[in-house]
Amino acid sequence: MTFKTIATAFCLLLGAAAAPAEAAQTHVAVAANFAEPAREIAALFRQKTGHEAILITGASGSFYTQITHGAPFEVFLSADEERPRLAVENGFAVPDSRFTYAIGKLVLWSRVVDVTKGEDALKAGAFRRISIANPTSAPYGGAAVETMKALGVWDALQPKLVQGNSIAQAFQFIDTRNAELGFVALSQLFGNTEGTRWLVPESLHSPIRQDAVLLKTGADSEASKAFLAFLKTPEAQAVIERFGYALQ
């Protein structure tokens, strides 16, 4: 065997050793409020592991219904802790895989009304429409209802409510001025300096603990398990905090 042949074989061996494990895909159902940070995290995940996280965004309640009807998601990043817990209890998710990946913050936001004194703005009611996400399917909508009830304005504001199917649609109603103001996730205002906002005190609603869980459809998927593990890394957590979430 010539020196050249040995050198070539050695290089091939080194290349094989350095090559990452076979890249794979995981299908991730992502709560609408977490869409932007999830995209950044997915890009980092692909860069670090070679695996690809295919993101599908929407309302957590709708996702849970789809999961119970056999939707082909492998990972579920919910906007609450209730639905991942139910997914485990009802046999759709892997036991002991559930954890809190972020704690959300609720904001009252407007492009046309001064809401910096949020409680006063809500009590004055000087607007025609207020947007929230559907409280049945979207946890941020539920937190908005809790907030209005805690402030004693729920009955007065109910006739003015405009409901989005998800927090993304609730945001769109305000962004397009179809509603003068509304409740959105703080993360949705990342990089947005327009309008006015009021960070809702956490004492006015239940904590928005956002849980992740490995679904049974992803139990044997290395990419799915790797994505959940990556959510706990310093790189992913830095993105989560930058978008305005608190960590566990």
**pLDDT-based confidence at residue 20 (cuts at 50, 70, 90):** very low
**3-103+208-242 and 106-199: same fold?**
yes
| pLDDT for residue 243 | 95
Mean pLDDT of 63-73: 96
Mean pLDDT of 121-135: 97
**pLDDT-based confidence at residue 21 (cuts at 50, 70, 90):** low
- Does 234 have pLDDT greater than 50? yes
- Phi and psi torsions of 139, nearest 5°: -55, -35
Domain 3-103+208-242 coded CATH 3.50.50.60: no
| pLDDT for residue 137 | 85
CB atoms closer than 10 angstroms to residue 151: 15
What integer best gives the mean pLDDT of the chain?
Answer: 91
So where are the chain's domains?
A: 3-103+208-242, 106-199
First to last CA, the chain: 59
Counting every residue, how long is the chain? 248
Instruction: Classify strands 208-214 and 52-58 as parallel, antiparallel or unpaired.
Output: unpaired
| pLDDT for residue 100 | 98
Mean pLDDT of 133-153: 95
d(CA 64, CA 62): 5
d(CA 13, CA 4): 14
Superfamily of domain 106-199: Periplasmic binding protein-like II (3.40.190.10)
